[in-house]
Each structure stands twice: as structure tokens, then as C-alpha cells.
Structure 1
Amino acid sequence: MPTIRDVARRAQVSTATASRALRGLPSVTATTRARVEHAAAELDYVAPFNAASLASGRTNSVGIVVPYVARWFFGTVIAGAEAVLREAGLDLVVYGVADAPSRSRFFEQMPLRRRVDAVLVLCLPLTDREADALRRLRVPVVLVGAAVPGFSSVRIDDLSAAAEAVRLLVHLGHRRIGLIGEADPAPHGFTTPALRRFGYLRALAEAGIEPGPGWQVAGGFTAGGGEAAMARLLAGPGQPTAVFAMSDEMAFGALRALRRNGVAVPEEVSLVGFDDHELAAALDLTTVAQPVAAQGARAAELLLDELRHQRPPTEVVFPTTLVRRATTGPHRGA
């Protein structure tokens, strides 16, 4: 089996230069890179997982720390990042931290030490201890959906986006507006639910609306949770004429509950979701669209930039768009 040394010998360059050329680093001229790539192709050379360490100690891999691997949002962010990193010749190593014990164990043992060149953290608001543990790795770290001083981050403005969704409902004449959100405190200390709730409350306050008892229910950011939450809103006092769900998946469940209870949408209850999930258009759901895959891709680009050029930390805030579809309409009494 040919080695990186064989490739270097065939291309008449040093082993370090051959390694840098095959990893796409900018310190190699185009002519030299082409010669190395040609030599590798002639020898049918395939770089092993840790081949880059021969020259620089690099592993050609990026670690992704994620709370829920199987959920749509996180999977879509990972897919966006993976496309960029794969193009750069880097592999992904995914670390799931689904609950408090696994999260604590991960940051105590730090299993990615010396196994990755950079780290992408999805939506976890880091404690000081966790942030320090990542800093000790001495590799680039980028956050998606959270912000910590000293690290690059990619996110949206959750508060403003949620407020815009609720303002639409107010504009349509609705005064009894329910919220399907998350339990307090949120799992993992997620900040997104609180920010979206503040946006909801801000829009109500601007319209002079005082939230009624039972207007805010937890849906756990799942379709099943959204269905149960909507059922509670329908059974409570002062049934809302409109509902803002903090995620499209909860909105999907809410639509199911409304249908099962014979409630017409939007004639009797208007509904707005959040995300623009791939099924949102099929269900004609009004929603706040955020560029989920693009956030993963941009985070990967920031990682590559820091790896190649040692750039200072950068904060990127993506815009959101309110997409009006068939689940919202004017209040009957408006």
C-alpha cells in the first residue's frame, strides 16, 4: 500500500509539502499541488484517517458536539457543515450529548482531544467550565445557535423573529394568542426557547395585550408535544384564536390536534410555526423561515478560515423571513 512518503518521492517534494497539498492548505503553489495530486492518483494513494499528523499533527477531522443527532434541525445543520468540510477533505466525528450525564462526561473526559482539528458546537450554551475545556484543546471552535466570548458563532435573532410572527397575528386582529414553547427551565439550558418567548411577550405588550392564564404551554419541540400542547390550549379557558408555535414540528402536531377537534384553520384558529421545515410548504404552514443548512455551512467556513489563517473570532447573524401561507387569516371579529 503506497504511503504519503511514496507520493512525496514521486512528486519530488517533501513529505510535509505532499501532506499540505493533499489537504488543500494555501501554503502550496497550484503547480506543486497539481504535481502531488497527480502522483497520488498514479499510485492510487488514499490518505488514512490520521495521515496529516505526519507533517503537522493534524487529523483531517472536525468534531461536532450535538444534543439531539436525530432531530431535523440538528441533522440539517450537520448536513450543511458536512458538505463544506467534505469539499475541503475533512471528515466529521459526531459526539452526541443527549442528556446531562452524557454532557458532563463528555466535557470531563474530552474524548475529542488530539482526535480533531476543530470543533463545532450546536446550540449548547456553554458553562464557563465547558468553555475552558474547549479552549484547552487549542483548536478553532465555532458555535451554532449560541454565543460565548472568544468563540466564533453563527445564529439568528430569535427574539426579533418570534416578535415578527406574533405581530402578524396581532395585525390580523387576533387578541387571544397562545404560545406553544418549551418547559422552564429548558433542557440543556437552551436559550432559544426563552428568546422566542420574550419575542412573543414583546409583541403582545406592544399591542397592549396581557397574556391570559393558560396561554403558554410546553410542547418539547416535537410533533407529539405540539399536539398535546394544542389540545391543552383548546381545553383551557378562553380558547385562543391564534397560536404561535416555537418550531414547525410542534406546529405540525398542533395542526393534527386542531383537525381532530374539528377546529377549522385559519377560520377559527390561525397558526404560525418557526423554521420553515422541509414539510412546512406541503402543509401550507405560515412560518418564520431560517436558513438552517446555511448556518451549518457558514459555521464550517469559519472553522476552515480559522484553521488556515488563524482569524479572530467572528459573529454571524443570519436574517429570517416571515413566510405567509394558508394557516393564518383574519380574526372573525376583526
Structure 2
Amino acid sequence: MASGIDDVARAAGVSTATVSRALRGLPNVNHDTRERVRRVAAQLGYVASPSAASLASGRTRTIGLISPMVNRWYFSNVIEGAERALRSQGFDVLLYTFELRGAEGRVRVDADVLRRRVDGVLVVGLPLEEDEVEALLALGHPLVCIGWGGFGQVTVRLDDHTTAVEATQHLIDLGHRTIGHITGSPDDVAPWSPPIWREAGWRAALEGAGLEVSEDLMVHGGFDVQGGRASMRRLVEARPDVTAVFVASDEMAMGAVLALRDLGLRVPDDVSVVGIDGHDLGELVGLTTMVQPAPEQGAMAAQLVLDMIAGVVPPRELVVPTELLVRSSTAPPRRAGIPSPRGAPVPPQPDV
């Protein structure tokens, strides 16, 4: 007859719960105990059955992962990082995505689709309403947010404000004095939403340098290539004197580069462009960017939710750093004016 978990527990001199935690690699088991349990399990030929463990504990060994989309760089990389980390611990992922309706708004999160199906929940890059958060918490499982944080939930995120300040300061240090900003959707108004903090960082850097901050220097791009392309055209039309732009994502930044080429302007000779992300395709257009570790954020959040399931009290927030990667899309401004898409000359930038 095959040995069971009770046999391993008796032989190792520990509880069955400790055997389960040790063999699954969960925290709160010291190294010596974990090794003793593994050695005894191997001697007795015991192999843990995930289905049996789930039945015995009432656990599903599945984590719900809520994301508005999977086909954008940030979301796909975070999801991949979380999925790999969870799989390595014997957990599955139940992916919950839903349609974004543009101007009509998004579909609201329905927590009931996760009821009795998951042991914890991750929410990627989606600022939720307070009642949506409350509904998820009512499931009785740990909740971790990635890329945003609100209503006091455990969060893994960038320091969006500092990242934006550093990106804008890079342009200021190059000598640019009229610097635009492409942000996300006009609907991004939650105080903990990344676009809000990135806009605030852009404003803070310009104000700190005594430079102009005006509403016609900021446009909304919707966090995709098409939106970045359209918004860059609007920005240049409204402010043909702009010589640099800080863009809140690499996909929008690549759209901005395309728009400038459409207008017959050269990057960086006429307009410099800097983004945020570290997108895999950024190198193809020589995009200067603030690189963020997206897969690592997913893995960190996955570990947090597993720790919470195991009873570990997590830190309220993990803030991950970004790093400036300078490529060919940024350079000092030209001293002569550049042609406007409307045909009017652009005043030359002052010497610095």
C-alpha cells in the first residue's frame, strides 16, 4: 500500500500541514525541516496529489487573473511573469478578460465568475471602482493589484511620478524647452492611476526647470500605437514649436514617431521622443525609454498572493524601479526653426 501524507508526517515528526507546505515550497517552513520532509517523502515513495490536496484543504490551487486585455506589451508580459511563477508553485491561472468599449466605457468586473473557482485574485493594470474591489474582497480570498493601487489594497507598481520626472528631465538636460506630453485616456482620472502620476511628474519636472506647462502641450493617446500617432499629429498642429515629447507608454511613443514621419519631421533632429516600458520593438525605431521590469512585476505579485494564502502578512506596496535607456530618438534641439505642418515657420529654440 502506498504511503500517505500521514505516514510522512509521523516519520518526519511534523504535522500533515507542515508536510504539505514543505513539499509545495510554501514559506514558514525552515530549511532543515523542509529537507527532512523531502527526504522522508522520497524514502517512503510519497508523491503529493494536487487533486487530493485540493479536496482536503478546500483549495482550488488556482489564481484568478483579471486583465482588460492580453495583446498589449505590458499586460502580456505581466501575465506571463505571473503565470510562470504560479505554475512553478503548482498553481493554475484562471484568466478573466473582458471587452473595452472605448467611449462607452468598459464592462464592469463580475466577481461571481470567480466564486469557488480561485484561491486568490490578481488585477493587472485596471483601476477598479470601489464597489468592484469590495465585490472581489467579498470572495474571501487575497487580492493583489499590479500597475495600480487603490482603496488600500496590496499593490505592485512603478514609481510613476519619479519615472516621469526622470524621462522629462532627460529632455530638459538635452536643452529642450518646449516639451509636450502624450498621456492615456481622458477617463483615467483615478488618483492612483499611472497616467495621473506620469502627467504629474511631467508637470513637476517642467515647473522645476521654470519651463512652460500649458494644457495645449498635453494630448490623450489611449495607450496604443494608433492613439499615439493621432495624438502626436494634434500636438504638433496645436504647438508647432514643440521640440520634444514625453510619452506615457512605448506603444504610444512608437505611434508618435510614425506621426512625425508622416508630417515630414525627423526624429530626433526636429522632435525628440521618450517613452516608458522597454517594449521589445523599441529598438527597431531607436526609442529612448524608461525600462520597467514587467514580467518581474507579475512574478512578484504572484508570490505575494501565495504568501497571503499561506497566512503571511504582506507589505502594503512593492515599488519597482525603472531605468533610462538612451537610444537615437532623443538628442539636443536644433537651433533653427522647423517647418510647421501648416506651413508656418516655427520659431527657433533659444540657446541654453
Please state which band the TM-score falls in when normalised by the shorter chain: 0.7 to 0.9
Partner residue of 2:304? 302
Secondary structure of 1:220 counterpart: coil
Partner residue of 1:125? 127
| 1:66-93 superposed Cα distances (whole Å, 9 cap, x missing partner) | 1122211011001111111111000000
Distance (Å, rounded) in 1 between the aligned partners of 2:6 and 2:305: 32
Change (3 A) 1:9 1:76: closer
- CA RMSD for the aligned pairs? 2.9
Q: How many residue pairs were aligned?
A: 323
Secondary structure of 1:180 counterpart: strand
Give 1:8 shift. Answer: 2.6
Are 1:104 and 2:104 an aligned pair?
no
| 1:291-314 superposed Cα distances (whole Å, 9 cap, x missing partner) | 111111111111122222432443
Distance (Å, rounded) in 1 between the aligned partners of 2:293 and 2:88: 20
Give 1:9 shift. Answer: 8.3
Change (3 A) 1:102 1:203: closer
Partner residue of 1:91? 92
Partner residue of 1:315? 317
Maintained 8 Å contact 1:62/1:116: yes
Give 1:205 shift. Answer: 1.2
Distance (Å, rounded) in 2 between the aligned partners of 1:99 and 1:54: 37
Give 1:103 shift. Answer: 4.1
Partner residue of 1:260? 262
Change (3 A) 1:12 1:94: same
Change (3 A) 1:323 1:53: same
Maintained 8 Å contact 1:233/1:239: no
Change (3 A) 1:306 1:237: closer
Distance (Å, rounded) in 1 between the aligned partners of 2:313 and 2:135: 21
Distance (Å, rounded) in 1 between the aligned partners of 2:311 and 2:34: 16
Change (3 A) 1:34 1:115: farther
Maintained 8 Å contact 1:19/1:55: no
Give 1:97 shift. Answer: 3.4
Partner residue of 2:61? 60
Partner residue of 1:292? 294
Give 1:236 shift. Answer: 2.8
Partner residue of 1:165? 167
Maintained 8 Å contact 1:150/1:313: no
Distance (Å, rounded) in 2 between the aligned partners of 1:7 and 1:242: 69
Give 1:163 shift. Answer: 1.4
Maintained 8 Å contact 1:286/1:327: yes
Which residue identity lines up with residue 223 of structure 1 in the other structure?
Answer: V
Task: Tell which deviates more after alignment, 69-78 or 25-34.
Answer: 25-34
Partner residue of 1:8? 4
Change (3 A) 1:88 1:58: same
Task: Tell which deviates more after alignment, 210-219 or 298-307.
Answer: 210-219
1:137-148 equivalent positions in 2, closer than 5 A: 137-148=139-150
Are 1:222 and 2:224 an aligned pair?
yes
Secondary structure of 2:219 counterpart: strand
Distance (Å, rounded) in 2 between the aligned partners of 1:105 and 1:183: 19
Which residue identity lines up with residue 115 of structure 2 in the other structure?
Answer: R
Maintained 8 Å contact 1:81/1:297: yes
Change (3 A) 1:55 1:218: same
Maintained 8 Å contact 1:223/1:252: yes
Which residue identity lines up with residue 172 of structure 1 in the other structure?
Answer: L
1:228-267 equivalent positions in 2, closer than 5 A: 228-267=230-269
Give 1:37 shift. Answer: 6.5
Partner residue of 1:275? 277
Partner residue of 2:188? 186
Are 1:78 and 2:79 an aligned pair?
yes
Partner residue of 2:116? 114
| 1:192-230 superposed Cα distances (whole Å, 9 cap, x missing partner) | 111111111111111222234632111111111111112
Long gaps (5+) in structure 1 = none
Which residue identity lines up with residue 93 of structure 2 in the other structure?
Answer: L
Secondary structure of 1:159 counterpart: helix
Maintained 8 Å contact 1:179/1:244: yes
| 1:139-195 superposed Cα distances (whole Å, 9 cap, x missing partner) | 221111122355321111111211111111112121221111123222899711111
Distance (Å, rounded) in 2 between the aligned partners of 1:150 and 1:312: 13
Task: Tell which deviates more after alignment, 60-69 or 252-261.
Answer: 252-261
Maintained 8 Å contact 1:125/1:189: no
Change (3 A) 1:55 1:203: same
Give 1:111 shift. Answer: 1.3
Maintained 8 Å contact 2:224/2:251: yes
Maintained 8 Å contact 1:66/1:94: yes
